[in-house]
Structure 1
C-alpha cells in the first residue's frame, strides 16, 4: 500500500546499511547533492546508538533517529529516499516519493530470490523472498554497476522499473584518484600511521551460516596471524576488513603494531592505500579491480560455500588472481607477492575482468544521479 500525501519538494532522506554511519554510494550522492543543491532539505537516517558518533564525524549533517516520531513523519513526506539496503518492509512509501536504490556491490554470490535455501537465522526462504519482493517493488530506480549486474538484478530482485547504468557512485573516487600519489600517502599516514611500507588488505565476505544466535555472527581467520606477520616487511601493515556483523568476534592481541582491524574505515580509502587485496567471495574484488592492482583469492571453504550456502553466478575460476584453498598455499603466494609485487601471468586475465565489470565506472556516477534528482525535483517547483 502506498500513501497519498503531498510530498515536500527537494526533501531527501539518505540511509546506508540499515541506519549505520553515512557511507557507500548514498554518501557519494549526498556529497554531490550538497555541493550542487545546497538549498535542498537533506537528512540522514541513523540508528539511535549510532547518532552520537555520526554527529561527531559529520557535524554539518542533519541526522534523524531511525524509528523516532520525527523519522516516522519525515519519510512519508520526503520527495526522495536514497538507500543501499532494504528499508523496513512495514514503512509505506508515498506515491509521490522517488526511491533510488543504489545497492552495494556487484554480485558474485546469489542474491534475493535466487537464494534457493536461505540459511540466515530468524527467517526462512519463503519469508525472505516475500520480504525482498515487497521491498524491490518499491524501488523506482536501481543503480547497475555493469551489464552483468543489471541482468542479475532483474531476476534476483524481480525488478522491472528503471535502471541507472552509471557505475557505483562510491567508486567515483577510485576512478578519479587511483593515481593521486599525494592523496594516497596522506591516507596511509592517517590510517596506518606512516606513509612507507606496503599495505595488504584482507576483506573476506561474511558467512550466512556462521552465527552464534539471531543477529550475531562470528568470524574465524583461516590462517595463522603470527605466520602472516612474519612474512611482512618491517614497515608493512596487514589490515583485516571484516563484515560489520562479525567484527566483534576478532582479536589481534600482541599484533596491534602490525595488524589493524578496520570494519568502519571508508572502504575506498583502504582500496586506495592497498598494494594487495586478499578476498574470497566478496564483491570488493569488482571495485578494487578499477585500480588495476594485484589480488589474491583465498576461498578456503569454496566447496561448502558454493554448493551449500549461496552458490555463484559465474565461474569462480575467472577471478583475476591466484586461487588458494589451504593455508600453506596462501603463505606461499603471499611470499611471492612480497618478493615480486604481483603475478605477471594474470595481467591479461585482470584486463579482461576490468573490461567486463568496470567498464561503466567513469567517475561521474554521483553527478548523473544528482542530475536525475534535479530534473525530477523540477516537477514540484
Structure 2
C-alpha cells in the first residue's frame, strides 16, 4: 500500500465483528489477493497474507495449532474439547468457522461428526494454553454416542478408524480454507493406554453387538478407534424357529383349532358365577389382579374362580392347555385381563359375557394401541387386538377418551373406577409393613436416602426393547451422592441390554430390576428419576419429588408422541444430562407445586377404594343386571 493511500479506520474487535476485506495489490502483484483484517486485535501483531492465483494460501503459511484439552469416555459416549486454528488466519466470528471430527477407515471412507464452535474464553483456553484472542473462536466441544449417532442410527460399523480434526474457515462467500489434522497426543486420556466398551443395537428384526477399542496411534499422533462386530442376527427368527419346532400341525391348531374349540364350547351354558383371570405377563396373582381378587375374597362372594397365568406370550401352551383355555373363555361370565392377551382377540365374546381389561398402567401419558396407527411399531388399522373388550377401567374420566382410542372401543365401555393397585397408597399399615420388610431384607435402604431410577424402554416393542445405560455418568453420580444416598435401578422388564453395575460402585448402585412390584419400592424412595414411564402417576400420590431424565425428548416426542404436551404435563423438572440431574437434586428445585393439580386431573378418586369400585361396578352390578333379566 503506498503512502498516499488512505488507510481504513481501525476498529477494536470488541466494537465490531471481524470482517475480511479482499483488495488488490500494486500492478506488480495484480494477480494476487490480500486478506487483511480491518479489525486488529489489541496487542496482536499485524498480519498480511498473500494468496496465489488459485486463491489459496501457500503451504508455508498453514501452521496448524491444536490441542485436545478433554477426552472422556462413558460407555460408547465420548466427550471431546480443545482448540484448533491455523496460525495467520484470524477466527473472530463464529459464523465464519466450522469444525468437525472425522473418522476415516482403512478404505478411506469418512464418518463425520460436527463439533460445536466455542469461544476460547468460555473454555478458559486463552489463559491456560496461551491462545491469542485473534483466534477467539478456535475452541470446540463435542459429545457423541458411537452406538447411535451414525447416519443410520446403528453402531459404528466394524473397522479401524483414524480420527482427525477438520477445520473450515470462510473468508468470503466464494472462498474457504479447509484443513484436516490429527488430534495430537491424547494418550493421557486413556487409562493404561486404551479404552474398551461395547455397543448394542436392538430392533424387531435385528440385534447387534460390537466391541469398541480406543487407543493412541503413535505414528499418526491421534486417536484410533476399532469397532469389532460380535453378533448380528434377527431375533424374530428365534421365535419363528421355536414355532417351527412345534410343527405345522401345532401352528395350525393354535390358529384355527383353538378357535374351533372355542366356538364349540360356546354351545355350553354360560356360567354366571364363573370368573377367569388370564395373563401372559405374570405367573402369580399380583398387580391389579391381586387387589381385585383380594376384595372379592374379603367379601366372600359366591364366584367360581379360574386362572390361566403365563410369564410371557412367548411361552407356548400345550394342546391340553389350549383346549382348557378355550373352554374357560367360552363358559365364563367374566374374563379378566391385565395386559396384552393375543389369544382372546380373534374371538367373538358371547352375549352377556364380559371381557374386562384391568390395564396395568395408570393415567394416560405416551400414545399406545390404535393411537399409534401409521407410526413405527403401530398396529394395522385392520388389527383385531383389544377391540372386543366390553369393559376397561381407567383412573379418571379425563383419560377415558384416550383409552377408548388406544383400545379401539366405544368410550361407553370405559369405566373410571380408579386403578386397584393404587389402593395401597392410601393404606398406611400396608406401607409400614412393606417398608419394614424391605429394610429387613436390604438394610442399606434404611441408613441413607434413596434415589430410584425407573425409565421406560426404548424401541417399538418387546422384541426391540432396550435402554442406553451409557447416557448416565455413573462416576459423576457416585462421587456426588455416595455419602448421602443409595441409587436403585428399576429397569423395565422388556429391556434386553447386557448390562451390570461396575464393582467399584457396588456400595452405591443396586439393581432392583427383578423386584416384581415397583409400587412397593416407591414407599422407600425419596427421589424418583423417570422419563416417559407411567410410574410418575403412582409416585405423585406420595407427594414426593421426581425428576424427568429425558435425554432424547425431542426424538421421542417425534417418534412416539404423547396425549399431552410433555413439557407442561410432567410434575417435575426436565433434565437431559447427568450434570443437570445432579444440579437439580443438589438444589432441590423439584417443582413440587405441579404435583397437586397433576393428581387431581389424573385421579377421579383418592380414597383407596378403587378395588371396591371395580367389584361393585363391574362384577356385582353386572350380576345384578343379570338377576333382573331373569
* TM-score of Structure 1 vs Structure 2, range by shorter chain: 0.7 to 0.9
Counterpart among 351, 359, 365 of residue 103 in structure 1: 359
Pairing of 1:8-19 with structure 2 (within 5 A): 8-16=271-279, 18-19=281-282
Task: Go from structure 1 to structure 2 and tell me whether the alpha carbon gap of 1:250 and 1:149 turns closer, same or farther (over 3 Å shift).
Answer: farther
Name the residue aligned to 2:300: 37
Write the distance in 2 (CA, Å) between the matches of 1:191 and 1:49: 28
Q: Which residue of 2 aligns with 1:354?
A: 599
Q: Could you tell me how far apart the structure 2 residues matched to 1:219 and 1:27 are?
A: 29
Separation in structure 1 between the aligned mates of residue 320 and residue 600 of structure 2, nearest angstrom: 40
Match of 2:475 among 226, 230, 245: 226
* Aligned equivalents of 2:497, 2:403: Cα separation in 1: 31
- Judge conservation of contact 2:279–2:310 (CA < 8 Å) in 1: no
Deviation (angstroms), 1:30: 1.6
* Greater share of strand: 2
Quote the offset at 1:287 in angstroms.
1.6
Q: Deviations over 1:334-379 (max 9, x none)?
A: 333xxxxx436x2322222122123423211111111231343353
Shift of 1:49: 7.6
Paired residue for 2:622? 376
Q: 2:336 aligns with which of 76, 82, 87?
A: 82
Query: Per the alignment, do residues 126 and 137 of structure 1 end up closer, same or farther by CA in structure 2, a change over 3 Å counting?
Result: closer
**Structure 1 residue 233: deviation in Å?**
4.0
Specify which of 320, 334, 351 is matched with residue 585 of structure 2.
Answer: 334
Question: Deviation at 1:7?
Answer: 2.0
Find the counterpart in structure 1 of residue 326 from structure 2: 72
> In the alignment, what sits opposite 1:141?
391
Indicate the SS of the match to 1:31. Answer: helix
- TM-score, scaled to structure 1: 0.81
Q: Does 2:268 correspond to 1:22?
A: no
Residue deviations 1:215-245 (CA, integer Å, cap 9, x gap): 2532221202233233334473322111111
Among 530, 555, 569, the alignment partner of 1:279 is: 530
Q: Which has the higher relative contact order, 1 or 2, with Cα contacts under 8 A spaced 6 or more apart?
A: 1
**CA apart distance, 1:269:** 0.0
SS at 1:170 equivalent: helix
* Distance (Å, rounded) in 1 between the aligned partners of 2:320 and 2:339: 14
**What is the distance in 1 between the residues matched to 2:466 and 2:387?**
32
Q: What does 1:88-167 align with in structure 2 at a 5 Å threshold?
A: 88=342, 89-105=345-361, 106-120=363-377, 125=378, 127=380, 129-131=381-383, 134-160=384-410, 161-167=412-418
Distance 1:6 1:230 in 2: 67
Cα drift, residue 186 of structure 1? 3.2
C-alpha RMSD of matched pairs (Å): 3.0
**Structure 1 position 47 matched with structure 2 position 306:** no
CA distance in 2 between counterparts of 1:130 and 1:343 reads 47
State which drifts further: 34-43 or 78-87: 34-43
Q: Is the 8 A contact 2:571 2:598 kept in 1?
A: yes
Deviation, 1:9, is 2.9
2:549–2:581 CA contact under 8 A, matched in 1: yes
Q: 1:29 to 1:325 in 2, by over 3 A?
A: same
Change (3 A) 1:331 1:35: same
Shift of 1:304: 0.6
Decide which structure has greater helix share: 1
Task: Say which SS state the counterpart of residue 351 (structure 2) adopts.
Answer: coil
Counterpart Cα distance in 2 of 1:343 and 1:4: 63
Question: Is the Cα–Cα contact under 8 Å of residues 185 and 195 in structure 1 kept in the other structure?
Answer: no
Task: Tell me what 2:229 maps to.
Answer: none
CA contact (8 A) 1:276 1:295 kept: yes
CA distance in 1, matches of 2:429, 2:498: 32
- Flag structure 1 segments of 5+ consecutive residues without an equivalent: 51-63, 337-341
The alignment partner of 1:245 has SS state of coil
Q: Secondary structure at the match of 1:12?
A: strand
C-alpha distance in 2 between matches for 1:377 and 1:192: 48
Q: Residues 367 and 560 of structure 2 are in contact (CA less than 8 Å); yes or no, is this contact kept in structure 1?
A: yes
Contact 1:168 1:361 in 2 (8 A): no
Can you list the C-alpha shifts for 1:177-228, whole angstroms capped at 9, x where unaligned? 399546433334335655332121111112234x7xx825322212022332
- Post-superposition CA distance 1:277-298 (Å, at most 9, x none): 1111111111211110000011
8 Å contact from structure 1 (residues 198, 237) kept in 2: yes
- TM-score normalised according to structure 2 size: 0.51
Is 1:244 aligned to residue 493 of structure 2? yes
Equivalent residues of 1:5, 1:96 under 8 A apart: no
Q: 1:39 to 1:126 in 2, by over 3 A?
A: closer
| Distance of aligned partners of 1:249 and 1:15 in 2 relative to their CA distance in 1, 3 Å threshold | farther
Counterpart of 1:175 in structure 2 is 426
Please report how far the alpha carbon of residue 143 of structure 1 lies from its aligned counterpart in structure 2 after TM superposition: 0.8
2:611 matched to 1:366? yes
Equivalent of residue 463 in structure 2, options 205, 210, 215: 215
